[in-house]
Amino acid sequence: MANVTVIPATRNFHTGIRKDAVVQKKTAGYARVSTDSEEQQTSYEAQVDYYTNYIKNNPEWEFVGVYTDEGISATGTKHRDGFNQMIQDALDGKIDLIVTKSVSRFARNTVDSLTTVRKLKEKGVEVYFQKENIYTLDSKGELLITIMSSLAQEESRSISENVTWGQRKRFADGKVSIAYSSFLGYQKGEDGQMEIVPEEAEIVRLIYRMFMQGKTPYAIAKYLMEKKIPTPTGKQRWQHRTIENILTNEKYKGDARLQKCYTVDFLSKKRKVNEGEVPQYYVEGSHDAIIAPVEWQMVQLEMERRRNMGRSHNCCGPFSAKLKCGDCGEFFGSKVWHSNSKYKRTIWQCNAKFKGESKCTTPHLYEQRIQELFLEALGRLLENRETIIDDCRAVMDVLGDCSSIEKELETVSGEMEVVTGLIQKLVVENATRKLDQNDYRRKYEGYVNKYAALESRMDSLKKDRESREIKFGIFSGFLFELSELEELPLEFDVKLFHSLVDYATVYHDGRIVFQFRNGTEIETII
């Protein structure tokens, strides 16, 4: 048998440094707290102070620094700037040893924890977890880290589920909470409830007013930037999406729809728009309104109208998407004549006037004349004001009574549950017993067809209910404005025009027929 002599290793496997060499390890500490609360802030400062002294008092260690993260969750490392900088410095050879309190302080994500530890291990960088007394370069280190990280991850899952349950319980109790730092018009009051900020509330009212005057979200955003009015987050640049969100947020009318979004995964913290996956809660009258409910509803109807007209972003001016051509059905658009002279005039004409094989014969209209014609039509409408108000209330009584629809919806829903149960029972029976397959398929298809018919009826009833709600909102807004209008205004009011008039049709013979939102038509002559 051959004689074998063992030649002992003289250099460290990871670093290449001689084992008998006296070298101080470049050591860094890592501290993290997961919230910005005062109690956690004290803990954070204590951790930093502790690791600074702990490392400096060890003669075998050379103090590099303490890397920190405040108010950051440990379930992921993507947004932990201090952690990521520490890892990069370690990989660059600036750190030999990282000292941290525990595995849970380092990461509560098993995958992230192991990936990071292995990456550091390849470079000879060791991590020491004080609480668990684990050195990652130790042969048993990785196994222990795997176990501890898994436990930490499950702890995070449990905490997340408890927080989610508590949040949904508050929603179910009608307790409203918002991100005040990025919400215009409200602040948290002394009693913890939403409190109106007068200066910001005026900006919200201005946005709603400008929209009802025919301005687009783009135009409103441009105006606010010109006036140097800051955004809800304090920035100078307004986006049209921000304007649209303000115009559609029910909180401005005093209500609150809760759980519009939800967290899909506790590890990634990914948020998703709630499309029915989890319950939503609607709280009426939860706080003081900035915008009157009727005015808010009118804005929603106007937004829907513009979307249907395909002019949600590009319409501009008081009569945009309001004047129709009697020849081709297209809308009128504004044009400026003599823009650089004292004879400057704004006219409105059919947008498709010169696009077809034969041009439309409808005349162009001066803006001032349209205003005069509206006031004329409004004056004639006011002659029958009381009768129209009574008729509107009668129509609203009918539209608002959805009891028969709700009753049928409940019945259909019950029938769908019964059919679902029959399908499930049939499938189980076919799996456990020997049934005639032709008979099985016949019954199964019958149940499925029955369910489809019920589902179709359910959709039809819901659409009917939605249609009634929309019409009710239209009549409600019209009635509100007409009730407030006891006499003909002396000047044209854009908001009043949009509130009362659905559209006006211009004919080639000089007639303009105003279609009011209650269905009344009044003819005028240019």
What is the CATH classification number for the domain harbouring 276? 3.90.1750.20
Count the neighbouring beta carbons within 10 Å of the beta carbon of residue 303: 16
Count the neighbouring beta carbons within 10 Å of the beta carbon of residue 142: 16
Same domain flag for 205 and 272 = yes
Identify the domain containing residue 207 by its residue range.
180-309
Domain boundary (309, 344, 370) is at 309
CA angle 370, 373, 378 (to 5 degrees): 125
Same domain flag for 252 and 289 = yes
- Quick one: three-class SS letters along 276-341? CCCCCEEECCCCCCCCCHHHHHHHHHHHHHHHHHCCCCCCCCCCCCCEEECCCCCEEEEEEECCCC
Count the neighbouring beta carbons within 10 Å of the beta carbon of residue 516: 19
Same domain flag for 142 and 222 = no
Predicted local confidence at residue 415, as pLDDT: 93
Please count the structural domains in the chain.
3
**Angstrom distance (rounded) from CA 210 to CA 214:** 7
Percent of residues, the chain, with pLDDT higher than 90: 29
Predicted local confidence at residue 430, as pLDDT: 84
Same domain flag for 275 and 346 = no
Same domain flag for 140 and 208 = no
Same domain flag for 359 and 472 = yes
Residues whose CB is less than 8 angstroms from the CB of residue 265 and which lie 6 or more positions away in sequence, other chains included: none
Q: Is residue 11 part of a domain?
A: no
Q: Is residue 427 part of a domain?
A: no
The helix (run of H) or strand (run of E) holding residue 348 is strand 345-350
Q: Is residue 97 part of a domain?
A: yes
Same domain flag for 116 and 29 = yes
Q: Is residue 20 part of a domain?
A: no
Predicted local confidence at residue 17, as pLDDT: 47
Domain boundary (125, 159, 193) is at 159
Q: What are the tens digits of pLDDT across the range 365-384?
A: 998 999 999 999 999 999 99
| Helix ranges (DSSP H) in 332-384 | 367-382
pTM here is: 0.53
Same domain flag for 298 and 353 = no
Residue 378 and residue 395 in contact, taking contact as beta carbons nearer than 8 Å = no
Percent of residues, the chain, with pLDDT higher than 70: 77
Query: Could you give the 3-state DSSP secondary structure of residue 445?
Result: helix
Same domain flag for 233 and 305 = yes
Q: Count H helices, E strands: the chain?
A: 14, 18
Q: Is residue 215 part of a domain?
A: yes
Q: Is residue 305 part of a domain?
A: yes
Q: What are the tens digits of pLDDT across the range 276-287?
A: 555 666 677 778
**Angstrom distance (rounded) from CA 31 to CA 40:** 12
Query: Could you give the 3-state DSSP secondary structure of residue 273?
Result: strand
Same domain flag for 386 and 263 = no
**Mean pLDDT within 53-77:** 77
Nearest-10 crossing angle of helices 198-212, 217-226: 140
The phi, psi pair for 263, rounded to 5°, reads -85, 120
Torsion angle (degrees, nearest 10) of CA 478, 482, 488, 490: -60
Predicted local confidence at residue 272, as pLDDT: 59
Domain boundary (159, 194, 217) is at 159
Q: How far is CA 11 from CA 26, 121, 161, 292, 355, in A?
A: 18, 16, 49, 79, 86
Q: Is residue 515 part of a domain?
A: yes
Residues whose CB is less than 8 angstroms from the CB of residue 392 and which lie 6 or more positions away in sequence, other chains included: 475, 478, 479, 482, 518
Q: Is residue 426 part of a domain?
A: no
Same domain flag for 151 and 188 = no
Predicted local confidence at residue 180, as pLDDT: 78
* Ranges 104-118, 188-202, 462-476: which has the least confidence: 104-118
Beta strands in 37-193 (DSSP E): 61-70, 97-100, 126-129, 134-135, 186-188
